[in-house]
Amino acid sequence: MLKASAARPLARLTNTYRVTYLRAICTRRSSFPAEGSTHLPDVTHDDLPIVSQDVGQVAIGWSTREWSRFHNIWLRDHCRCSKCFHSITKQRLFNTFDIPRDIAPIKVEAKANGLEVTWPSKELHVSVYPWSWLQRNSYDPPLKRPPEFTDKILWGSKIQQAPPTVVYEEIMADNDRGLYKWLLNIHEFGFSFVTGIPVTPEATEELAQRIGFIRETQYGKFWDFTSDLAKGDTAYTTLALGAHTDNTYFTDPCGLQLFHLLSHTDGSGGATLLVDGFYVASIMKELHPEAYMLLSSVPVPAHAAGEATCLYSPSPAAGYPVLGHDPVTGELTQVRWNNDDRSVMRHLAPDLVEKWYDAIRLWNGCLTSADSEHWVQLQPGTAVVVDNHRVLHGRSAFDGKRRMCGAYIGVDEYKSKLAVLREKFAPDAVVQAASAIPDTQVDGRSIWNPAL
Ligand SMILES: [Zn+2]
């Protein structure tokens, strides 16, 4: 049951209390991948880095022991002067393939704003690269830097003591602060409750649209459904559903799912189940590293075939592993798991068949352990949003008549809105450091924005 105290918005707690409290109830934090070993000093006007030209590259000495090297072709290609980069559209304005392969600067200089490079050309052509931007983008070597965003907070069943919650009115307010708080909750925890919603599909749809476009699928755009099997999916029955992610049969499963129970009459049951897939994966990695490897490498095909007019399977047809990772950082980025939608495992190597079934048995064991499961009985007026790339959801069986509404939102729409609000409420350190350079910011967006 969702107790009154448990539903108290985290935002109302003081920050110190919130952090301490969360440390107590959350078992583990995701580790940010190590990126090199050095930690850089800030560049000050009195103590500029040493710059020098080397064969084919420019070397920057941040301190006596710490250097970065950038290839000439790389620097020229990343010029963000007004001739090379459109400050409004944030698009490249020149042809990379017009740059001579062996281009070399006429002059390199350390200036207060950053590295200044003068290029050979008929007209004067000078590039300036802010120091903090060069540190962030250093690739030889990659430099250790603080995470660009707050860590994700992994959770188990104890999250019930203080689940992330935001109030509807705050989210709908024009100043966007409540919306930012909501999206940060989703970023950190992979889910968030919203309380105080008018119990109508219209208000719920407006709530979903605060984040971005609703993603239309074979289930419709904004759903408003009961257990009448109107669509050929078990979601439209009264059956219990184990913890799963949605759309494993899509090439790009939806990013967020919002649902709001509008009414439940003449019956009981139908509790909502949430499980943090990243938390369960972190346990698997620690206790069963070989199984973790198989879950991360063996693709799993899936299908949606319950509607005569649709027959979905992902591309490529072999599907995707249960655990997806960032190919550069190795960070876990996506959980895809719906055992009911799984298709024929015809591509498994013979010697992996039993090992793979053992691996999913261990995975299922961790997913369904009491330590992982967060059960909540949703009430009309409280919606939940889950990050469908991280948190699995399910429900217990029920009887009576339930009316549920909700929507899918694409992962790119969600991340775009979060990036825009972050730009507004938590400006990036590089952007702030580079703000003294003229003509770099249009409508609040800098040409040194970390996404560009
Ligand atoms: Zn330029």
Q: Residue 54 maps to which CATH number?
A: 3.30.2020.30
**Contact assessment for residue 72 and residue 56, using Cβ atoms and an 8 Å cutoff:** yes
Q: Using pLDDT thresholds of 50, 70 and 90, give the confidence band for residue 16.
A: very low
Sheet with 57-61, side-by-side order of all strands: 50-54, 57-61, 67-71
The per-residue pLDDT for 148 is: 63
Distance of CA 13 from the midpoint of ligand 1 (Å): 49
Across the strands, what pairs with 59? 52, 69
**Contact assessment for residue 188 and residue 150, using Cβ atoms and an 8 Å cutoff:** yes
**Contact assessment for residue 145 and residue 430, using Cβ atoms and an 8 Å cutoff:** no
Distance of CA 65 from the midpoint of ligand 1 (Å): 31
Percent of the chain at pLDDT > 90 equals 76
Question: Where are the extended beta strands (E) located within 46-105?
Answer: 50-54, 57-61, 67-71
Distance of CA 61 from the midpoint of ligand 1 (Å): 24
The per-residue pLDDT for 232 is: 75
Q: For residues 195-206, give the mean pLDDT.
A: 98
The per-residue pLDDT for 255 is: 97
Kindly state the tokens that stand for 159: 């999250």
CATH number for position 229: 3.60.130.10
Note the helical H segments in 2-71: 15-25
Identify whether residues 337 and 270 lie together within a single domain.
yes
Distance of CA 92 from the midpoint of ligand 1 (Å): 10
Distance of CA 382 from the midpoint of ligand 1 (Å): 53
Identify whether residues 25 and 57 lie together within a single domain.
no
The per-residue pLDDT for 225 is: 85
Identify whether residues 255 and 361 lie together within a single domain.
yes
Distance of CA 79 from the midpoint of ligand 1 (Å): 5
Identify whether residues 361 and 323 lie together within a single domain.
yes
The per-residue pLDDT for 229 is: 67
Q: What is the DSSP string of 287-312?
A: H-HHHHHHHHHS-B-B-B-SSTT--B
* Burial (0-12, 13-18, 19+ Cβ within 10 Å), 401: middle
Per-residue pLDDT at 8 exceeds 60: no
The per-residue pLDDT for 346 is: 94
Instruction: Give me the domain span that covers residue 163.
Output: 10-31+155-409
Examine residue 36 and state whether it is found in any structural domain, yes or no: no
Examine residue 82 and state whether it is found in any structural domain, yes or no: yes
Query: Which are the contacts of 365, defined by CB distance < 8 A and separation ≥ 6?
Result: none
Identify whether residues 98 and 134 lie together within a single domain.
yes
CB atoms within 10 A of CB 152: 22
For the chain, how big is the Rg over CA atoms in Å?
25
Instruction: Quote the mean pLDDT of the chain.
Output: 89
Identify whether residues 208 and 310 lie together within a single domain.
yes
Identify whether residues 253 and 212 lie together within a single domain.
yes
Examine residue 118 and state whether it is found in any structural domain, yes or no: yes
Identify whether residues 109 and 25 lie together within a single domain.
no
Q: For residues 293-312, give the mean pLDDT.
A: 95
Distance of CA 196 from the midpoint of ligand 1 (Å): 52
The per-residue pLDDT for 146 is: 64
Examine residue 111 and state whether it is found in any structural domain, yes or no: yes
Identify whether residues 247 and 384 lie together within a single domain.
yes
Q: Using pLDDT thresholds of 50, 70 and 90, give the confidence band for residue 274.
A: very high
Structurally, the chain folds into a number of domains equal to 2
Distance of CA 118 from the midpoint of ligand 1 (Å): 10
Examine residue 43 and state whether it is found in any structural domain, yes or no: no
Examine residue 42 and state whether it is found in any structural domain, yes or no: no
Identify whether residues 168 and 255 lie together within a single domain.
yes
The per-residue pLDDT for 200 is: 97
Identify whether residues 202 and 228 lie together within a single domain.
yes
Cα–Cα distance for residue pair 203/219, rounded to 1 Å: 20
Q: Say which range, 81-95, 178-192, 379-393, has the weakest mean pLDDT.
A: 81-95
Examine residue 192 and state whether it is found in any structural domain, yes or no: yes
The per-residue pLDDT for 238 is: 85
**Contact assessment for residue 243 and residue 339, using Cβ atoms and an 8 Å cutoff:** no
Identify whether residues 251 and 400 lie together within a single domain.
yes
Long-range contacts of 331-334 (CB under 8 A, 24+ apart): 331/30, 331/32, 331/33, 332/30, 332/278, 332/281, 333/389, 334/389, 334/390
Per-residue pLDDT at 249 exceeds 70: yes
**Backbone phi and psi for residue 356, each to the nearest 5 degrees, phi listed first:** -70, -40
Residue 14 or residue 44, greater confidence: 44
Residues flanking ion ligand 1, Cβ below 5 Å: 79, 81, 83-84
Cα–Cα distance for residue pair 115/271, rounded to 1 Å: 59
pLDDT tens digits along 54-88: 999 999 999 989 999 999 999 999 999 999 999 99
Examine residue 209 and state whether it is found in any structural domain, yes or no: yes
Q: Is 248 helix (H, G, I), strand (E, B) or coil?
A: coil
Q: For residues 384-403, give the mean pLDDT.
A: 95
